[in-house]
Amino acid sequence: SPRVFSGVQPTGNLHLGNYLGAIGRFAALQSTHDCIYCVVDLHAITQARSVWGGPEGLRESTRSVTAAYLAAGIDPVKNIIFNQSQVEAHSELAWVFNCIARMGWLNRMTQFKEKAGKDRENASTGLFAYPNLMAADILVYKATHVPVGEDQKQHLELARDIAGKFNNDFADEIAGQGFGEAYFPLPEPLIQGEAARVMSLKDGSKKMSKSDPSDLSRINLTDDADAIAQKIRRARTDPEPLPSEVKGLEGRAEADNLVGIYAALAGISREAVIAEFGGAQFSTFKPALADLAVQKLAPIAGEMRRLTADPGHIDQVLVDGADRARAIAEPVMDGVKDIIGFIRKR
């Protein structure tokens, strides 16, 4: 049966890209799929301590991502919400995948190149192996569908390659132990919508990111109305008015980004936005966009504030979710151990 898995790192301020590309779409899947949503704290520590904020920052961000899941309408009883480090099987399967994935595969990952920057010798080995842990996150639940933003497409392809190589390398053992033709499904990315890749407000060639040092580059889910309006007003654009056809957005990354954000927030297509604002100056379009963003984000921010005021409740959601996640992951991991030949208690 189809199972959805996805995760968000507790690395600081959640932003509009996280919401439109990921979290906002998670809730929509709960009526049709069995969904597991994780706060991937083991991934967060692959980056510098200053990025994830040390122990206090990590706890605060973990609760904040959980609150965002709940505020977006994800039901923690029908679905599973938990933080990754509570379910040991993620790390165990990641080690196995470290031994399945090839150096050459990981060397091609653009996220590593971007995050490691020029000082690659000084990047953590965890940052390099990040996609193996991500493959483990998904496959330890035999998840079939993974809603993510565009930036995670390459990692999803790697997860499929890892699943395929494991199935292939151990084909005889998998069949011999009655698991059939394949132990792991090849997970499908679900990358959809007008804002699958929200760009930085300061640079139309870079995606909006939690870890971007410039706060003006992103709209945080917790920004107030004034901050949202100011950031949109100061967002970089070219001097031309909006085109009269969507085609005219080609080669205009910043304009295209703002139109895409409007479309996603309003739940309409880029075509419909251009039908309304084609020919308009940014001095007209930007305030309309700011109003819409405030209208859509303010209730989420309010709910997140209400939820994070009771950290005990949030932590209990994570503990309960982890217990249910473990019950699915452990038998999958036991199967992996038997297939590889690791002796274990029966």
Binding region for L-tryptophan: 137
Residue of minimal CB distance from ligand ATP? 21
Evaluate whether 313 touches 321 at the Cβ level (below 8 Å): no
Shortest distance in whole angstroms from residue 1 CB to ligand ATP = 23
Shortest distance in whole angstroms from residue 131 CB to ligand ATP = 12
Evaluate whether 118 touches 31 at the Cβ level (below 8 Å): no
Shortest distance in whole angstroms from residue 19 CB to ligand ATP = 8
Residue 64 binds ligand ATP (CB under 6 A): no
Interaction residues for ligand ATP, span 150-189 (CB under 6 A): 151-152
Of 207-215, 230-238, 274-282, 291-299, the window that binds ligand ATP (rule: CB under 6 A) is 207-215
**d(C-alpha 175, C-alpha 65), whole Å:** 40
**d(C-alpha 332, C-alpha 3), whole Å:** 14
- Alpha-carbon distances of 329 from 20, 33, 161, 281, rounded to whole Å: 29, 18, 20, 53
Residue closer to ligand ATP by CB (options 21, 76) is: 21
Residue 211 binds ligand ATP (CB under 6 A): yes
E strand or H helix that includes residue 281? none
Residue closer to ligand ATP by CB (options 4, 333) is: 4
Burial track 290-329 (b if 16+ CB lie within 10 A, e otherwise): bebbbebbeebbebbeebbeeeeebeebbeebbebbbebb
Shortest distance in whole angstroms from residue 108 CB to ligand ATP = 18
Residues 6+ apart with CB under 8 A from 99: none
Size of the site for ligand ATP (CB under 6 A): 19
Residues 6+ apart with CB under 8 A from 206: 199, 200, 212, 217
Residue 210 binds ligand ATP (CB under 6 A): yes
Residue 202 binds ligand ATP (CB under 6 A): no
Residue closer to ligand ATP by CB (options 100, 195) is: 195
* Catalytic positions: 115, 207, 210
Residue closer to ligand ATP by CB (options 167, 257) is: 257
Q: Is the dihedral of CA 315, 317, 320, 326 positive or negative?
A: negative
Residue 198 binds ligand ATP (CB under 6 A): yes
Residues that bind ligand ATP (CB under 6 A): 8-9, 11, 17-18, 21-22, 148-149, 151-152, 196-198, 207-211
